[in-house]
Structure 1
Amino acid sequence: MPKIVDHDQRRLELVDATWRIIARRGMEGATMRDIAVEAGFSNGALKPYFPTKDDLLTFAFRHVFNRTNQRIALSTFNQTGTTAIRALGLEVLPVDEEKVSEARIVIPFWQKAITDSHKMAIHRESMAQWRLALMRHLGEARQAGAITTGVPDDVVREQLMNLFLGAQITAALTGPEESLPSYAHQLDGFLANL
């Protein structure tokens, strides 16, 4: 009887292996062969799932975004205003090794998105969801009196997006011997200034 393979589980194992390789060697150092070995599969076992490294990177980015959104949904459940903004931010900001690894997947994806309209569409869709959530929570905070700044919400939203995305770039470029800045403190300071 042939072995039954859980294809979704296999894809996730390959993405996890990709993250580990990228964390150690960077995107250019992550070959399909090395990813297969890291996952415990033969190189040929990757082809049915990801015919090219580019396909794997696209899937990995979508997976990072989906995982981040799942964490956001859990952490912001029944939260509103600045409490929800903080919870959302802590799921995006690279405050632990898992989120630093995610940043190392996202950064090369952004580079490819510059010249690939399909990848750019994925990126824009992803960012539009975060922007929508931030605008909702900023409105809640303003209505509750927790935000009193005269800076319009759409400007505050973009400042938050720049904090989140800039932190991902910084974290991806920080070597293991360096300490990451306290992004939670930066976010708290930003929110306090509102």
Structure 2
Amino acid sequence: MAHKSLGEKYLLGSGRVPKIVDHDERRLELVDATWRIIARLGIESATMREIATEAGFANGALKPYFPTKDTLLTFAFGHVFNRTNERIAEVTSGLSGLAALRAFCVEVLPLDEERINEARIVIPFWQKAINDPGKAQIHRESMQQWLDAIRRHLAEARDSGDVSTAVDDDSLAGQLLNMLLGAQIAAALLPEGQTDLGLDRQLEGFLSLLTR
């Protein structure tokens, strides 16, 4: 029988159970706190102290997870992208062609407060990516993944006859992606409490042009 350490004997004897910390969950709590601070105060006011207070942690408790605000921002961007992709996978399951393309775009467009807050995370990341090759690479790889998905759905729609425009799919995919990214900027600049930019109607207008 293995001998227990003094610490294990103390915990067993006292009835105390050591708390198991879920580090992934803790990181996500910090990312959520970051979103709330940025939504209220902007990126410059989202200090590590403010984020820790918002999340209910001591200031020094952030260091093991995110040594700097920059590492937190990079993780937050990755989380936004992954969460958006999870939503896309869910809503496009079993769909193809224009139906899948429409569902894809709706999940990317900032149509509600949650997705507007996501845009407020993405835009500061883009700003830093201008002069940071590592962040620029993350952005390029992410956008390439989306472009590939858009082209795939366009090709499906061509095959089914739902897309008949003479404009080639590469051009269409680029136009659509730029529309989606531009919508992030427009939404992030909306006055507090406003969420309607008419983006869903603009999307339908774009898709209707594909059959002409």
1: CA distance, partners of 2:144 / 2:87: 17
1: CA distance, partners of 2:77 / 2:151: 24
In the alignment, structure 1 segments of 5+ residues that lack a partner are: none
How big is the shift at 1:86? 0.6
Match of 2:44 among 8, 11, 28: 28
| AA in 2 matched with 1:39 | A
Match of 1:85 among 84, 94, 101: 101
| AA in 1 matched with 2:200 | A
| AA in 2 matched with 1:74 | E
Q: How many residues align?
A: 194
Q: Which digits, 9 at most, give the CA deviation of each residue in 1:89-141, with x for residues without a partner?
A: 01100001110000000000000000001100110110000000000000000
Q: Provide the alpha-carbon RMSD of the alignment.
A: 0.9
How big is the shift at 1:180? 2.7
| AA in 1 matched with 2:148 | L
How big is the shift at 1:183? 1.1
| AA in 2 matched with 1:142 | R
How big is the shift at 1:179? 4.9
Match of 1:76 among 82, 92, 104: 92
How big is the shift at 1:177? 5.2
Q: Which digits, 9 at most, give the CA deviation of each residue in 1:63-111, with x for residues without a partner?
A: 0000000001001111101111110001100001110000000000000
How big is the shift at 1:3? 2.4
Alignment match, 2:176: 160
Does the 8 Å contact 2:113/2:195 carry over to 1? no
Does the 8 Å contact 2:111/2:195 carry over to 1? no
TM-score by length of 1: 0.98
Alignment match, 2:120: 104
2: CA distance, partners of 1:90 / 1:128: 18
Alignment match, 1:183: 199
Is the radius of gyration larger for structure 1 or structure 2? Answer: 2
| AA in 2 matched with 1:165 | L
Match of 2:167 among 139, 146, 151: 151
1: CA distance, partners of 2:197 / 2:28: 30
Match of 1:64 among 75, 80, 83: 80
TM-score by length of 2: 0.90
Match of 1:150, SS state, is coil
Does the 8 Å contact 2:187/2:195 carry over to 1? no
Large movers: runs of 4+ above 2 Å: 177-180
2: CA distance, partners of 1:85 / 1:184: 13
